[in-house]
Amino acid sequence: MSEEDRYVFIAEWYDPNAALQRRYQLIYYTKDQSVEMYDVKNHRIFLRRTKYEELRKEDLFVGNKINVFSRLLHLIDYGDQYTARKVGSKKEKTLAMIKPDAVMKMGSIIESILDSGFLITKAKMVLLSRAEAMDFYREHHSKSFFNDLIHFMTSGPIVALEVVGDDAVASWRKLLGPTNAGIARSESPESIRARFGTDGTKNAAHGSDSIASAARLDLNGMFDTSSRTNKLELEFFFPSSGGPGPKNTAKLTDCTCCIIKPHAVSEGLTGKILNDILSTGFEISAMQMFTMEKANAEEFYEIYKGVVAEYNEMVAELCCGPCVALEIRDADAPKRFREYCGPSDPEIARHLRPRTLRARFGKNKIKNAVHCTDLPEDSVLEVQYFFKILDS
């Protein structure tokens, strides 16, 4: 097979049984979507070439975490120069931040981002403290609008997103449009600021103004940090050190849990589902993207073990890629939101309750778009599992 037909990466997997970080060469064949894995340390084949349609070519870039047969692999480097040249040369990560004035429109903004060909690899709703906002915008400290900007940016939650794409910094800024929303409406009417912004401060979203202040992947997958003296913008929200960054916005009271499942995320449905939830009158009071280890998925779904025949398939789906966890608040949130999600089988939902989330976005009983808390007494516990335990 010629080199054009395959991509090679170096991947790491944490083996919880041995408490070891194991390293593999991962080979992905584009022709038939098959994968092969080679154990680097022991010099032997770990996984013979096997068809694996859940993995897409777009998911393969250094820094991403992918799930292959329930193993969460961290792609840490390119395995050959061909892969580095084809995949890494134009690939950039940048920060896309939805400001307080546009959080209610986050579904539409995320839809625009995905429709423009970006991948969203991290997401978190946070409420900045005054000190955090001043740190983030320190380059504007001497400007006349600084105090108004800080007041605005701490007035409500924001949504920070890590987006990946070819020339992502420039492409995202083009999609954003001019800084002043009024100018954007005349010069770039399809842009995000034209559609969702009000003026020069309340302009819906933020984008890094240079590769240095975002982060660029070079051929070795390292960040180009010839940057600013303060933190990289992505590092500010998503520290590579494993630190928490700004706190999530979960209130952990009068709430219920919703998870947009990995299949729905990979199908680009996140924005549509968020839009639907918000337009129905529910409050999304916390949101965060997680990539689950199998052990976490088993722990989360433990109450279904031995009760639901599809338990193992449910676990496999939840840890097969990124999911988006939501804290939903409303009067009688557990009961009302569960009714709104509909029957767990989308086919039954389409017959009985065609306007429900699962009827509209689900495919089958396992890939049914969303998980919602079944028992009211488990609502806060499920929200805590994501926003208190997994986020710590």
Cβ atoms of residues 337 and 328 within 8 Å: yes
pLDDT tens profile 23-57:
999 999 998 999 999 999 999 999 999 999 888 88
What is the number of H-type helices and E-type strands within the chain?
16, 15
Count CA atoms within 13 Å of residue 228 on its CB side. Answer: 20
Q: Which of 392, 381, 391 is nearest to 299 (CA)?
A: 381
**Taking 70 as the threshold, does the pLDDT of residue 264 lie above it?**
yes
CATH number of the domain at 91-237, out of 3.40.190.10, 3.30.70.141, 2.160.20.10, 3.30.420.40? Answer: 3.30.70.141
Mean pLDDT within 193-217 = 78
Cβ atoms of residues 145 and 170 within 8 Å: no
Mean pLDDT within 95-115 = 96
Q: Which amino acid is at 15?
A: D
Task: Please give the class, per CATH, of domain 3-87.
Answer: mainly beta
Q: Which of 156, 152, 360, 371 is nearest to 275 (CA)?
A: 360
Q: Domain boundaries in the chain?
A: 3-87, 91-237, 255-390
Instruction: Report helix, strand or coil for 371.
Output: strand
CATH topology of domain 255-390: Alpha-Beta Plaits (3.30.70)
Q: pLDDT band for position 89 (50/70/90)?
A: low
Give residue 19's pLDDT.
Answer: 82
Give the residue numbers marked as catalytic.
Answer: 206
Name the burial class of residue 258, with classes exposed (0-12), middle (13-18) and buried (19+) by CB atoms within 10 angstroms of its CB: buried
**Taking 50 as the threshold, does the pLDDT of residue 222 lie above it?**
no
Asked whether this chain's domains 3-87 and 255-390 adopt the same fold, the reply is: no
Count the neighbouring beta carbons within 10 Å of the beta carbon of residue 323: 25
CA distance 23 to 356: 44
**Whole-structure pTM value:** 0.87
Cβ atoms of residues 171 and 118 within 8 Å: yes
